[in-house]
Structure 1
Amino acid sequence: MDDDAEVPRVLNHGDEGERRPGGEEKEERKRTRPPSSYGSMKSDSDEREYEVEDEDDEEDCVDCTFPDTFKFESPAPAAAGFQPPRSASPETLYTMTTQLTKPPGAMVIHTRAADFLEDDEEKEEEEEDDILYADSPEPPEPVESDEVMQTEDNSQPGRLHPLQDLPHIFKSVLATLRRLTREELFKFKLCFSQWQSFVTVPELMEGDVLDFVDKILEVLGQDCSLLDTLRTLKSVNKVAEAEELRKTCDRAWIRYHLKTYLIRKHEVIHEGIPRPGKRNRLDTIYVQPQISVCGFGGVDPSHQIRPQPPSPLQIPCVDTSVRLNDLFRLRKEDGRPVRTAVTTGIPGIGMTVSVGKFCLDWAELRANRNLQFIIKLPFHSFWRLRDSPPPSKMMSIMEVIEYHHLECKDMKCLEEADCKFLIIMDSFDCYQATLDWENSPVLTDSHAPAHPDVLIVNLIRGNLLPGAFVWILGRRAAVSQIPAELIDVVTEIQGFSDEMKDDYLTRRFTDGALAANIVAHYQRLPMLRMLCRQPFICWMVATLFENSYRYVGYGVKPPKLTPFYINILVVQTNRKLQFYYNQTENNLKWSSKDKDMLMQMGKMALMMLEKNSSVFFEEDLKEQGLKLTEVTVFSGLCTELPAATSTARRTFCFIHLTYQEFMAALYVFGKFHMESQSKNVLDSMSKTKIFAVKGQSKLAAGLLHSALDRTLRAPLGQYDMFLRFLCGLLCPGCHKTMLEGNLFPHNSPAVAGLGEVQQLLEKTIASAPQERLANLMECLRELTQEDA
Structure 2
Amino acid sequence: MDPPGPGPGSKPRPKPAPSSVSLKSDHSKDNPLYFREPPPEDQREPGPKEQLDAIFTRLEEDILTFVKEQLQRLHRLLVSEYPESSSESEEEQSSREAVLNITLDFLRRMKQEQLAERLSSRSSVGVCRDKLKSHLQQRFNCVFEGVAKAGNSAPLHQIYTELYITEGGASEVNQEHEVRHIETASRKPAATETSTTCEDLFKGPAHRHQPIRAELTEEQGTQTKSKEENESIFNKAMQSVKTTFTKFFVPIREEPSEEGPIRAELKEEGPIRTVLTKGVAGVGKTVLTQKLSLDWAEGRAHQDVQLLFPFTFRELNVLRDTEYSLVELLHHFFSQTKGLCSFQQLQVLFIFDGLDECRLPLDFSRTRVLTEPTESASVEELLVNLIRGSLLPSARLWITTRPAAANQIPAECVSMVTEVRGFSDPQKEQYFRKRFRDEQQATAVISHIKSIHSLYIMCHIPVFCWILSTVLLHLMETRERRELPHTLTQMYIHLLVVQAKVKNIKYHEGSGTDLHWTPETWEMVRSLGKLAFEQLQKGNLIFYESDLSECGLDTAAASVYSGVFTQVFREEPGLYQDTVYCFIHLTVQEFLAALHVHETFFSSGENLLPTPHSSESPEAFYRSAVDQALQSPNGHLDLFLRFLLGLSLSTNQSLLPGQLTYTGSASTNQETVKYINQKLNEEGLSAERSLNLLHCLNELNDRSLMEEIQRVMTEGRLSGLYSPAQWSAVSFLLLSSDSDLGEFDLRKYQASETALLKLLPVVKASTKAILSGCGLSPLSCAPLASVLSSSSLTHLDLSNNDLQDSGVELLCSGLKSAPCRLHTLR
For the aligned pair, the TM-score class normalised by the smaller chain equals 0.3 to 0.5
Q: Relative contact order: is structure 1 or structure 2 higher (C-alpha 8 Å, sep ≥ 6)?
A: 2
TM-score, normalised via structure 1 length: 0.47
Comparing both structures, which one devotes a greater share of its residues to helix?
Answer: 2
